[in-house]
A and B are shown apart, each in its own frame.
Chain A
């Protein structure tokens, strides 16, 4: 177990360095004007200004020095340090007209909130329905679950989102788009309203404003459904097949033969073991969510990092997109690490080795 975790941790820096090197090599494709967004807000107007940037930020130095400066920042003649992704400085977003780190700080909580709510139906419905389908193999609930899951993993996120918008927003006017209504935004931005966590639903409860909570929930329903459907379809499928496999195992047959109740057999003997492979999906799900937010947020005009990335990409503001890609890659690496360690704890074969 310890060896397993140590090995996993030893690979981690290699992956992290590899990821940053890959991003850095993509930067090399950019034109000098585009690259300058890493250091200055405005496009350099003439050759002399460009020359100045090249000198000041050491862009005439060997490539490994440039990589180093990009990672930790470079000291200019005045002694001020600029850049350095490890310092959280990703440069300027010319499409957003401000520092990329400011955009991330501003928009990341919204994405976190959306993703957290999306996890509830993914795990809840996915696992519950998957187990129910396997226990009632080939019965009605199984057939329904299978059809739901086939449609689910064939449904492109953006089409599902648009279709939901068509019915529930454009036609029925049940759910609005965005993150908060205008009146709620006006209250939230007042100084008397404390933004403890920057997750609007949590802050609304902490401030005792149930009207704002209700408004936030109404805004979250459609994006959460859109974002979670594809993912829970995958969860459902894997849970179902894993549970079917487990129910055929000898120890389940033994448990039945001992005369244990069906509830006991399923709940105590089969389900815990069937869920081990499902845990490995965690990393994949995080990857799916990180990709899914790009479309979900774009369609529902939800102000998170996904829609910011999509806007930047559409305007070919590559420096910004690269920063978001790097950020999501870090999140994914972290998630995979957590999943792997968790898997080590869950699976006795790994835990005891």
Chain B
């Protein structure tokens, strides 16, 4: 039929600039390619990505930066306690010498010609080494953030899709339940539930993690429900229905994958704030045991020294900056992703 086209139209079509599809785009698909290009065009999102990468790398190589002490309690994944250098309650400044039971010397200290561990960031009350806490705390932060947000997204997808799929009274009931959970100020509710759970399941990361999940899934459920309701009306869903695809398969194969993008953006922005909330609960003394490598726990040592904080600034500043940078990385990424995903921004260069 091409030959039948009038010559002018064929000529016009020939003049249209043809968009080159690179190898990368072919491999990862147009949607991810757009995201990829959007991220690398914006200096703020590059900053966010770099921060995220930095923290992930630190988390992975934590045992190399700070080798676990010999006979350390804990799992292969996590040391159960920050190594301490004695028991004195007075903090010691950055760079002070490690007086007893120093952990194995890491490789990078030998590069600097050091033969003995020093307290790189100083020690907190109880002589917990702050550098160890900050480095290993990265693992805790990433683990908690990903676990909590991951479970929240799964619950959100379940509740949201059931609600949108069945509609009617099921929808009404589920949405009212969602609203009831949303009626609580998040941090107050999480505080309460962790305080209830920690005597039952023991101190550790799990009480706050469960509490953060229980009061954290509602946003996803509402978002997914709304997106499913809008995706449901699209032509390709209609087409699938016309050719006789089963309802469940339409939902799982066609609707959910297309409705889930906005939730993933929300999820990436949420990791930062979940990690803040977790640290905040630790700061108040609910959740992990004293001495567990986690940023909030470290900062809570500062509460003993409030009138003298200008002397013992390092208890707040190092873990505080770690937490701030971590959150900022995820927020910058989330911001960029939101701009890229925003349908109004589609086709505007990104």
Which residues does A use to contact B, with CB under 8 Å?
11, 14-15, 18-19, 22, 26, 29-31, 150-151, 153-159, 162-163, 165-167, 169-171, 177, 287, 290-291, 294-295, 298-299, 301, 309-310, 313-314, 316, 318, 321-322, 324-325, 328-329, 332-333, 336
Contacts and interface: CB of A to CB of B under 8 A. Distances in A.
A158 B307 contact: no
Contact of B195 (A153, A316, A332): A316
Chain B at the A interface: mostly helix, strand, loop or mixed? helix
B324 interface: yes
Contacts, number: 147
B133 to A, nearest CB: 15
Chain A at the B interface: mostly helix, strand, loop or mixed? helix
A316 B199 contact: yes
Interface stretch (B103-111, B254-262, B308-316): B308-316
Residue from B196, B197, B276, B308 having most chain A Cβ neighbours under 10 A: B196
Interface residues on B, range: 35 or more
What 5 A-B pairs are tightest by C-beta distance, nearest first?
A18-B180, A291-B187, A171-B310, A170-B310, A170-B309
A328 B188 contact: yes
Nearest to B275: A156
A29 B44 CA distance: 46
Interface of B: 44, 176-177, 179-181, 183-189, 191-200, 272, 276, 279-280, 283-286, 299, 302-303, 306-311, 313, 316-317, 320, 323-324, 327-328, 331-332, 335
B272 A163 contact: no
Contacts of B306: 165, 169-170, 177, 299, 301
Nearest to A283: B182
Nearest to B179: A15
Given A11-B179, A29-B200, A332-B183, A151 B188 contact: no
B210 to A, nearest CB: 12
Contact of A321 (B191, B307, B328): B191
Nearest to B284: A310
Contact of A332 (B185, B323, B332, B335): B185
A313 B207 CA distance: 13
Given A11-B176, A170-B309, A314-B284, A29 B184 contact: no
Contacts of B196: 26, 29-30, 318
